[in-house]
Amino acid sequence: MMSSVTIQIRRKGVITLPAELRRQYGLDEGDVCTLVDLGGGLFLLSPRVSKLAPLGDHVARLIAEEGATVEEILETLDQERETYYREHYLQA
């Protein structure tokens, strides 16, 4: 649904997004957005939602399901890192 709101540019170019839009799109203080100049005085503001937090939650769920310990995870990461190094840097 397309809607429009009026916002005011304040000191140092600060704008405030309406609380309803911040809630709707899960935006919090410090979140990063992209502003695209479409020309003719039109702008597009697009929230760049971090994919890191949901991915971290997914990994945490998988770890809990497997019952893995931190030590096991670190050991596996070390093994994978060594394998990657051998495959990519020690080729004859």
In a domain, 77, yes or no: yes
In a domain, 65, yes or no: yes
Give the model confidence (pLDDT) of 42-55 as tens digits.
Answer: 888 888 766 777 77
Residue 36 main-chain phi, psi, to 5 deg: -110, 125
Residue 2 lies in a domain: no
Find out whether 61 and 51 touch, Cβ atoms under 8 Å: no
42 and 28 in a common domain: yes
Q: Which domain holds residue 59?
A: 52-89
30: alpha, beta or left? (left if phi > 0; alpha if psi -120 to 50): left
Residue 1 covered by a domain: no
Do the beta carbons of residue 17 and residue 4 sit within 8 Å? no
Evaluate whether 5 touches 21 at the Cβ level (below 8 Å). Answer: yes
Cα 70 vs. chain centroid, distance in angstroms? 24
Is residue 22 in some structural domain?
A: yes
4 domain residue, yes or no: no
Over the stretch 64-84, which tens digit does the pLDDT of each residue have?
A: 888 888 888 888 889 999 998
Please state the pTM of the whole predicted model: 0.47
Do residues 60 and 85 share a domain? yes
Domain count, the chain: 2
